[in-house]
Amino acid sequence: MPYLGGEETVRELRRALSNPNVQSDPLRYRNTILKVIRTMSQGVDVSGLFSEMVKACATVDVVQKKLVYVFLCSYATLNPELSLLVINSLRKDCQDPNPMVRSLALRNMTNLRLPSLVEYVEQPLTAGLRDRAACVRRVAVLGWAKLHNLQPSSEIDAVVVNELYSLLRDPDPVVMVNCLRALEEILKEEGGVAINKPITHHLLNRLKECDIWGQCEVLRVLQRYRPQSEDELFDILSLLDSFLVSPHPPVMAATLSLFLSVSSSLPAVSLAALERVSGPLLAACGSGSREMRFAAVCHIQLLLRSVPGLLGVHYKRFFCGYAEPAYIKERKMQVLVELVNDENVAMILDELKGYCTDVNTDTAQAAISAIGRIGRSYSDRCLQILTGLLGLKQDHITSVCYNDTFQFVNIIPSIH
């Protein structure tokens, strides 16, 4: 639904943008452009101001350029012919002595996303790969990935691919990681970037220079590599060792995944790695972020499928807090079922019994179901709890209890 009064607003903005007095005052001109962006964000169709905004590109004010580029990228698909004028302005900005202007021009040139303009974008992107400023190279590398995404059927020139491979050794770590991402996208049909021994060791040696998400990206890509000898395997594990206890859970999880991937032929090494990450994972389960807690519990649940009872002594860390959301409580109860043994079964069942009367019906039913699953191994104790819950005569409790009790009627004879 169009914004009420939109047509009159657009007419006023057009008059202001075309006013010579406004254009001669840089501050007033910038504020008028800011009003256009604000109006656009309110849902008004201001595409009719495209030609006026194209003229506003011709400025040395970086802030004004950013505002204008936001507008042009939003409406370029509606004005493909006028967008050619934008390309000319952007190509000129790619030669600007200010690296911020050059990177801004390259980024927005690829954000126009018009197939008809690809031929005008390739040359500036190629030049950007060799730019002396790292911020420009970062944008140029990702620009080739955007270009490939815009025309997936067309092949990127082999010279460009080779240039991207060479930039894996760029002194800037962000350029290096962006090259990995771009090559993964461009070479998707060929299986992604080719990972060999020199590239693997180069990436691992520079891993500490990358930010959190860069480290995760490198670790994810390296899972395709297989060491050629046992000595090389232990060299790789030594380089990864410090990242297993990273204070950042995403890095720790990505490192563990790579660790398990390359050491799959050495069960003892894999088990040692799992035991080492148990501390950071348990710490993440107590994070102040609900999302982080949920992700950590999910990771632990997956690990327990590979190594049952891995965290058996830490079962109390998975007792539910009163204020925790239901989805975390349900995951924790699933983990408790995996950790049950002869020593802790009484404590776990007593804790789960308390959750059966939770005010949240989903949590209560999940607790009853957890008791039912434990009953496959400890039927007498669980049956006593479930029959006691039937006496509460609450529909959401009794319906689940009856199902689990019925299962025990079939299970108990087979046990005896």
| pLDDT tens-place string over residues 239-255 | 888 888 888 888 988 99
Q: Are 143 and 176 in contact (CB under 8 A)?
A: no
- Ranges of residues in the chain with a pLDDT under 50 are 1-4, 409, 411-416
- Radius of gyration over alpha carbons of the chain, in Å? 30
Residue listed under structure tokens 């975390």: 328
Residue closest to 29 by CA, chosen among 41, 42, 16 = 16
**How many Å apart are CA 176 and CA 140, to the nearest integer?**
12
Residue 320: strand, helix, or coil: coil
Q: Are 195 and 183 in contact (CB under 8 A)?
A: no
> Which residues make Cβ contacts (< 8 Å) with residue 81, sequence separation at least 6?
none
pLDDT for the residue 412: 44
Handedness of CA 195, 129, 141, 151 (dihedral sign): negative
pLDDT for the residue 405: 58
Q: Is 38 exposed, middle or buried (0-12, 13-18, 19+ CB in 10 A)?
A: exposed
The number of beta carbons lying within 10 Å of the beta carbon of residue 85 is 16
Alpha-carbon separation of residue 166 from 69, 287, 297 (angstroms): 31, 40, 40
Helix %, strand %, coil % of the chain (to 5): 75, 0, 25
Structure tokens at 394: 């609450």
pLDDT for the residue 280: 82
**How many Å apart are CA 170 and CA 173, to the nearest integer?**
7
> Does the reported pTM lie above 0.85?
no
pLDDT for the residue 360: 85
Within 13 Å and on the Cβ side, how many CA atoms surround 90? 28
pLDDT for the residue 327: 92
Q: Are 41 and 73 in contact (CB under 8 A)?
A: no
**How many Å apart are CA 83 and CA 76, to the nearest integer?**
6
**How many Å apart are CA 365 and CA 357, to the nearest integer?**
9
Q: Is 380 exposed, middle or buried (0-12, 13-18, 19+ CB in 10 A)?
A: exposed
pLDDT for the residue 172: 95
pLDDT for the residue 200: 92
Determine the angle formed by the axes of helices 62-75 and 99-111, rounding to 10 degrees: 10
pLDDT for the residue 1: 35
Q: Are 18 and 59 in contact (CB under 8 A)?
A: no
